[in-house]
Amino acid sequence: MLRLDNVVTHYGNIQALKGISLEINQGEIVTVIGANGAGKTTTLKAICGLVSISSGKIFFRGKDITGKPTSDIVGSGIAMVPEGRRVFPRMTVLENLQLGGYLNGDKNLIRKDLERVFELFPILKQRLKQIAGTLSGGEQQMLAIGRALMARPKLLLLDEPSMGLAPMIVSNIFDIIQEINQSGTTILLVEQNAHMALSIAHKGYVIETGRIVLEDTAKNLLNNEQVKKAYLGE
């Protein structure tokens, strides 16, 4: 469904990705783990066209999306929960969610999707009119996830969705991710909480300073000594 071929990106002179190749099949949950600064976020941004790609290609559902404007990429069915939440701080919770469904013309659909988000995150329903910038950290995280769901993506990119969430919600989030996945959305998940991520994923990649160093089924990775030591804290 999504394929990255040797993708290289730069921030100024710094090469952040040094040739990333990965593949995600329809219906999978794929996770990318790696230390701080390894290039996980940059990979997601590259997919969305938010950082420009110096060389390499990206294919989504067979089509070459390299260098396409972000809005087109999003239009073709990719949504992202960005790192650091990035809610629209001076808009209300409701408006943030509506913007998530910006490309969905159908009003009824939007209403239905809203209901679904409220089911997942009841607190958002109580805060509908609150200015998003004043939500607590965790509430903002929920809003960011809800907003991405409003786009009804075929591929959902999640950048550390569990960051700053209460333990109960964290386990919920992973349930929700699986649920979304089961209802047909393919998922690319970046997580610090590698244990949790690998336990729900089908496949995993380990990234180190801009390169993929390991690629295997999630199960195998969970048992890999190297991974255990470096990312599972065991």
Partner 1 sequence: MTLLEGKDLTMVFGGLAALDSVDININKGEILSLIGPNGAGKTTLFNLLTGVYSPTRGSICFKQREIKNLKPYDITKMGIARTFQNIRLFGEMSVLDNVIIGQHCRTNTGVFGAIFRGPATRKEEKKVRDRAMDILNFVGLAGEAGEKAKNLPYGKQRRLEMARALATDPDLILLDEPAAGMNPQETNELINLIDKINDMGKTVLLIEHDMKLVMGISQRIMVLDYGKKIADGPPEKVRNDEKVIKAYLGDRAGKEVRAC
Partner 2 sequence: MFFSQFFAQVVNGLTLGSTYALIALGYTMVYGILELINFAHSEIYMTGAFIGLMAVTVYKLPFAAALLAGMAGACMLGVIIEKVAYRPLRKANRIAPLISAIGVSIFLQNAALLAMGPQARAFPANFSAPGLNLGIIQISPLQLLILIISIFLMVGLHFLIQKTKIGQAMRATAQDKETAQLMGIKIDRVISFTFAIGSALGGAAGVLVGVYFNSADPMMGFFPGLKGFVAAVLGGIGNIPGAMVGGLILGLAEVLGAVYMSQYKDAIAFAVLILILLFKPTGLMGRRVQEKV
Ligand X SMILES: Nc1ncnc2c1ncn2[C@@H]1O[C@H](COP(=O)(O)OP(=O)(O)OP(=O)(O)O)[C@@H](O)[C@H]1O
Identify which of residues 109 and 166 has a Cβ nearer to ligand X in the complex: 166
- Kindly state whether residue 134 participates in binding ligand X, applying the rule CB under 6 A: yes
Contact mark string toward ligand X, 8..27, x via CB under 6 A: ---x--x-x-----------
Q: Candidates 105, 119, 168, 225: give the one binding partner 1 (CB under 8 A).
A: 168
**Closest distance of CB 207 from ligand X, Å:** 7
Token pair in block for residue 232: 């599972």
Contact mark string toward partner 1, 117..136, x via CB under 8 A: ------x------x---xxx
User: φ and ψ at 233, to 5 degrees?
Assistant: 70, 25
CB 51 within 8 A of CB 33: no
- Measured distance CA(197)–CA(108) in Å, rounded: 34
Select from 18-26, 42-50, 93-101, 169-177 the region that touches partner 1 (CB under 8 A): 169-177
**Closest distance of CB 127 from partner 1, Å:** 8
Identify which of residues 73 and 227 has a Cβ nearer to partner 1 in the complex: 227
Q: Candidates 25, 26, 27, 37: give the one binding ligand X (CB under 6 A).
A: 37
- Residues touching ligand X, count (CB under 6 A): 19
Token pair in block for residue 138: 């965790």
Select from 70-78, 95-103, 132-140, 148-156 the region that touches ligand X (CB under 6 A): 132-140
Q: What angle do CA 121, 123, 129 make, to 5 degrees?
A: 115
Q: Please give the residue ranges that form the binding site for Mg ion (CB under 5 A).
A: 41, 83, 137
Q: Write the single-letter amino acid at 32.
A: V
The binder of 79, among ligand X, partner 2, Mg ion, none, by C-beta within 5 to 8 A per type, is partner 2
Q: Please give the residue ranges that form the binding site for partner 2 (CB under 8 A).
A: 48-50, 69-71, 74-75, 79-80, 82, 86-91, 95, 98-100, 102-103, 131, 133-135, 147, 151
- Measured distance CA(1)–CA(154) in Å, rounded: 9
Identify which of residues 37 and 122 has a Cβ nearer to ligand X in the complex: 37
For CA atoms 229, 17, 86, 47, the dihedral sign is negative
Q: Which residues bind partner 1 (CB under 8 A)?
A: 35-37, 84, 123, 130, 134-139, 141-142, 160, 163-172, 192, 194-195, 230-234
